[in-house]
Chain A
Amino acid sequence: MAFEFAFTPEQRLLKRSARQFMRSQIEPGLPDDDWSGHGGDSPLELVKRMQHQGWFGIGIPRALGGAGMGEVEYCILMEEISAVDSSLGTIFGAHSGIGLMPIYLFGNDDQRERFVRPIAEGRHLAAFALTEPTAGSDAASIKTKAVRDGDDWLISGTKIWCSNGNFADTVVVFAVTDETLGAHGGVTAFIVSKGTPGFTVGTIEDKMGIRQSNTAELIFDNCRVPKQNVLGKVGEGFIAALTALDGGRVGLAAACLGACKRLLDDCVRRAKDRERYGKPLGKNQSIQWMLADMATDIHLAEYAVYHAATLTNEYYEKIAHGEPVPRALREKVSRAAAAVKIHCSEMTGRAGERAIQIFGGDGLKMKYRIDRSFRDQVITEIYEGTNEVQRLIIARELLQEGA
């Protein structure tokens, strides 16, 4: 029997229409110089247009205002958005993959109605706040605390590297609720709305890449959150974080795939158009090899990303419907997500180097945007869990299986 692995007509239409929309409606609105346009609300006008396309609730059921699709479609959008701009891809990923998804997966009916619906309908933006100054890769070491006060919780602490943090309407915040229990049992997720007293935005980081995506410091000073905003059960926040990050990593891999495909298109065009020694660059075998290596990387990555997305979709559907999740599926998803995250982020790094080589000195000029792709790629090997941590996840699975 044939092994069928192809997009459905619906997915093909989503991909084509997203590509057309991004390239005709969004790309012309991007700043030529991303170096000076940073830290403000500049991308929000473009984000709003994307929200009106129904993309920001892509994996949420129609009954909750979403587009009723799933993880494969989320990855399709990540790919097409990031092919045009990685900053917009980061905004979309931080919102859909890790900001919105844990509220949908672990929220109760009331929370889904109050928080998921306005997000899925494209009226609100979401963010995810886990990392702290002393807890990055070792996320289990977070220090932000939440203390029970009557029917409320008081959250105190500082979160950093929060994409969308300064303009998100809804933030999922992770805090220690029982220091004696550690990460599994001692960390709880809270849904915090913008404007809640005690919640302020601190520094907006000035970065070398994804400069149109705002990365904020969030400060919680006795921020009072009602108990109705506890996401899932008290003490089960870390599981929510890890579950969201699995899907987020697959989405990030799709973003890298999109960025890489765009780089390849640019390089092929350059190899055809640019002449040296009386012939197009592409007539040189050294250039052909670079293009072929990029295309080979992309070909393999595409299958792996959408396979991981299919697994994640199955995993998320079970959680959303309250069905038991087999441990084997959970581990398979974590491993696949880690693998595609490593492969695709490093593939984009290699593609960026080759693109600069093919473009020569022009690759360093802003007008060709190759420099931007190169700078934007660096973070992909770090955020959503560094590639080193992803290798630990895979190795742990391998050694457990062999034990």
Chain B
Amino acid sequence: MPPSGARLRVLVPVTGAFHGKVRLKRNGLVDTEGVERILSRESAQALALAKQLAAEGAELVVVHVDKGGGEEVLREALAHGADQGVLVEGAEKSESDASTRATTIAEVYKQMGPFDAVIGPARSEFAGFTGTLAALAGQLELPCLVGVSRVAVDGVGLRIAYQSLFGDYDLRVPRPSVLLVGDLEPSHPTAWGIHDAHRVKGILRVKADNYTVQKALTKRQRIENVPQESRSLESVDGATLVRRLRSRSLIAEKGGSP
């Protein structure tokens, strides 16, 4: 945590998404050549949450682990109001699994910190980003909360609102914490922000190798190392799930309190 009176700093890891028609090649692979990369909707939601702290004077540093087309993704994040951008290049050569990404982001956190919070998206375009940020929280030994829709400074901590299956909560968490955004209206960049992101604000480019990324297990190794387990999953419809949760008093009865 920065010394008292210092400007609050927030690290916002962002992800990209394909914009336009993505076709399948004859070999079954996804053909993304020439398809524009943009900031993912979930990242725009994370920025909307981070801007709540920016309104209280926080500096927002966005980081993007590039898999190609990353500069435009990062500039778009800057257009949403972030103050500084870090583009980690060369990551496309390594296995882009959650653990490796988390290690890379953790290195950015350590080298560019201190930060008061990490605020990120809960999903990315093809898979969950929750794993990445949960792994990040684990590596940095920080608390991690999912589904956050409101955040504000509260003394030496942060006051957050978050949603879960069991209801909405309002609680105080320490600084720093890793916060994954919940269902929130995405931020919209202004024309002023778009101008500044492309003509005023700079981007710090770093090579993934510089961060001594420790290669996590590759997918192949992971599959080989996980004991084969055969398990049939029970198919449960929504009504059954609600009934079971009610029977355990985990959600309210109709018209009653839990």
Interface check A401, CB cutoff 8 A: no
Contact with A54, one of B75, B191, B197 (Cβ below 8 angstroms): B191
B interface: dominant SS: helix
Within B66-124, the residues touching A (CB, 8 Å) are 72, 75-76, 79
Which of A12, A17, A53, A69 interacts with B36 by CB under 8 Å? A12
CB of B249 closer than 8 Å to a CB of A: no
Q: Please tell me if the beta carbons of B189 and A17 are within 8 angstroms of each other in the complex.
A: yes
A9-B72, A10-B198 known; A16 vs B38 contact (CB < 8 Å): yes
Query: Measured between alpha carbons, how far is A9 from B199 in the docked complex, in Å?
Result: 11
Chain B residues whose CB sits within 8 angstroms of the CB of A25 once the complex forms: 188
Contacts of B197 in A (CB 8 A): 10, 13
**26 A-B contact pairs sorted by A residue (CB < 8 Å):** A8-B198, A9-B72, A9-B198, A10-B75, A10-B194, A10-B197, A12-B36, A13-B75, A13-B76, A13-B189, A13-B197, A13-B198, A17-B79, A17-B189, A17-B194, A20-B188, A21-B188, A53-B188, A54-B191, A54-B192, A55-B191, A62-B192, A67-B194, A69-B191, A73-B191, A77-B191
Given that A16-B19, A68-B199 are contacting pairs, would A9 and B191 also be in contact in the complex, using a CB cutoff of 8 Å? no
| Residue B195 CB within 8 A of the other chain | yes
A365 contacts partner chain B, Cβ-Cβ < 8 Å: no
Whether A53 contacts B190 in the complex (CB less than 8 A), given A12-B36, A16-B19, comes out as yes
Residues of chain A touching chain B, judged by Cβ–Cβ distance below 8 Å, are 8-10, 12-14, 16-17, 20-21, 25, 52-55, 58, 62, 67-69, 73, 77
How far, in angstroms, from A62 to B192 measured CA to CA in the complex?
8
A77→B194 CA distance, assembly (Å): 13
Cα–Cα distance between A19 and B196 once the two chains are bound (Å): 20
Residues on A with C-beta less than 8 A from B75 are 9-10, 13
The interface of chain B, by Cβ under 8 A from chain A, is 19, 36, 38, 72, 75-76, 79, 188-199
Interface centre among B189, B192, B195, B197 (most CB of A within 10 A): B192
| Residues of chain B lying within 8 A (CB to CB) of residue A14 | 191, 194
- A68 / chain B contacts, CB cutoff of 8 Å: 192, 195, 199
* Top 6 A-B residue pairs of the complex, sorted by shortest distance between their CB atoms: A67-B191, A54-B191, A10-B198, A54-B192, A54-B190, A68-B195
B-chain residues with CB within 8 Å of residue A77 when the two chains form the complex: 191
A-side contacts of B38, CB under 8 Å: 13, 16
